[in-house]
Amino acid sequence: MKLEAHAKVNLTLEIIGKRPDGFHNLASIMQTIELHDEIEIESSDDLTLDCDVPELNTDSNLVLVTARALREITGVSDGAHITLRKSIPEAAGLGGGSADAAAVLHGLNELWRAGMDARQLASLGATLGSDIPFLLRGGTALVQGRGEDVTPLPNADLEWLVLLTPEIKLENKTAAVFSRISPGDHSRGALTHKLAGRIRGGGDVPPQFFFNVFDRPADEAFPGMSDYRSGFSGVGAAEVVLTGAGPSLFAVPDSRELGVAWELLLKSRGWNAVLTRAWWPEN
């Protein structure tokens, strides 16, 4: 069984407020993109993982955590050998680990004939990672709550994107960025719902409508982040937007040709840049 695990970007990301459980309620428009990891699943007596990134070959990899959780909740005793080939940068705000987990949930549910429906898979996924419920389906969606409340939207009028992933490692990244958020950064999700309404109406998605509440905190938390942002703007990108809690940035070119130019200019500085497209599931 061969599967693709697609990355995502956040066209908007707002924090509504803190929950009693310590987490935050969010409002976001999420979009999957063509950039993806490749996963192969084979029947096996044991449950094992082989990843082409050596440091991810651990028992705590979310892929194995997810597989064990599915086996526990369904009572299945089968095993599987999972091969993971990474293309999505790690801990970059692109949902790579969650995308892998979502793909594995789909694959093992089929391989093991576990009988979980879409709602049950999403419910299990929500306990494992906030992005998993959305990534189980992908496309364009309004995502709320901790990530468990996913409302599919019509396909956004969006094609090419250029991603720039700074080579910055930050320990406990999500916590470090969240710690810089204050109640003054909270909102009612108006920007997100405005863009959702525009998408529902068949309108375009101008980058001027994009927003990420973590833009400022990420610039503070990631050393040298402002250099990457200004460098991206310097190649001609008018709106440079953070995705997730960072550090990846993206911008929308007017054409593939312009996107290629941006990608090459950013790569000429030794930076990790890639031109990709928006992606939607076939059904």
Cite the active site residues. 8, 131
Taking the CA atoms of 189, 213, 90 and 239 in sequence, report the sign of the dihedral they define: positive
Whether 165 contacts 89, CB under 8 Å: yes
Whether 129 contacts 254, CB under 8 Å: no
Cα separations in angstroms, 82 against 90, 141, 143: 18, 29, 29
Closest by CA to 211, choosing from 24, 29, 31, 11, is 11
Chain CA centroid to CA 211, Å: 15
Closest by CA to 96, choosing from 60, 132, 128, is 132
Q: Across the strands, what pairs with 33?
A: 278
Whether 117 contacts 47, CB under 8 Å: no
Residue whose pair of structure tokens reads 């005793």 in the numeric block = 77
Q: Which two tokens stand for residue 237?
A: 């990108």
